[in-house]
């Protein structure tokens, strides 16, 4: 298992015991992103992968908005955790600096990677679909948010989960539609 080795902030306290096995099964799906790729390219690949789980960019934006409200926006007010606000601020600034300097990578020339991501996302959805029969939509959303949080943490580092989700939420319409188009091009 690739993802549990990295520390992650997971604030979901809503998981029932039967959901733990599902989460472990989801974490068996690793993403083929070369470790030596630059940060901005990894970020673009992750954005493409995240969008594969949604039928439209608008649905993904609504989902990310809810994840941010429920999991991350409340953390900035937690003054009991010394240094958390400062660490988050520095991580967001670093994330923004890198992406402003480098921009979104063009993944059209990386069709093999996009095809692999599509295969992984479809297998994950198919395998998990049978296990989540009877789940409420909210339960599936919790599991998906947990999974995406772990994947982002593993690829970009734990302090970049919040900045990544904020970046995706803030993408201009043409940028997110361009990434969404790549996610559907295979």
| 13, part of any domain | no
**What is the token pair recorded at 130?**
């049978």
Residue-number span of the structural domain to which 160 is assigned? 18-24+36-183
| 12, part of any domain | no
**What is the token pair recorded at 33?**
């992103």
pLDDT of residue 164: 92
| 156, part of any domain | yes
CA-nearest of 125, 142, 119 to 14 is 142
| 1, part of any domain | no
| 4, part of any domain | no
| Domain tally, the chain | 1
User: What Å distances lie between residue 178 and 40, 108, 174, CA to CA?
Assistant: 16, 10, 6
Say what the pTM is: 0.75
120-165 pLDDT per residue, tens: 777 777 766 666 666 667 777 888 888 888 889 888 988 899 999 9
Answer whether 164's CB lies under 8 Å from 95's CB.
yes
| 172, part of any domain | yes
Residue ranges of the chain with per-residue pLDDT less than 70: 1-26, 29, 75-81, 104-111, 127-136, 183-186
| 11, part of any domain | no
């Amino acid at each position: 298992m690739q993802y549990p080795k990295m520390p992650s902030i997971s604030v979901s306290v809503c998981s029932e015991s039967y959901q733990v096995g599902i989460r472990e099964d989801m974490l068996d799906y690793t993403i083929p992103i070369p470790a030596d790729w630059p940060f901005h390219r990894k970020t673009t690949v992750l954005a493409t992968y995240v969008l594969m789980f949604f039928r439209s960019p608008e649905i993904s934006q609504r989902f990310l908005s809810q994840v941010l409200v429920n999991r991350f926006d409340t953390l900035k007010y937690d003054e009991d955790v010394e240094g958390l606000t400062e660490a988050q601020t520095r991580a967001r600034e670093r994330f923004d600096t890198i992406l402003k300097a480098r921009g979104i990578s063009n993944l059209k020339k990386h069709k093999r990677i996009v095809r692999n991501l599509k295969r992984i996302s479809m297998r994950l959805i198919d395998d998990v679909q049978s296990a989540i029969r009877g789940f409420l939509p909210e339960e599936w959303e919790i599991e998906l948010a947990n999974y995406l949080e772990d994947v982002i943490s593993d690829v970009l580092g734990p302090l970049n989960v919040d900045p990544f989700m904020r970046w995706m939420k803030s993408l201009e319409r043409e940028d997110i539609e361009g990434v969404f188009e790549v996610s559907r091009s295979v």
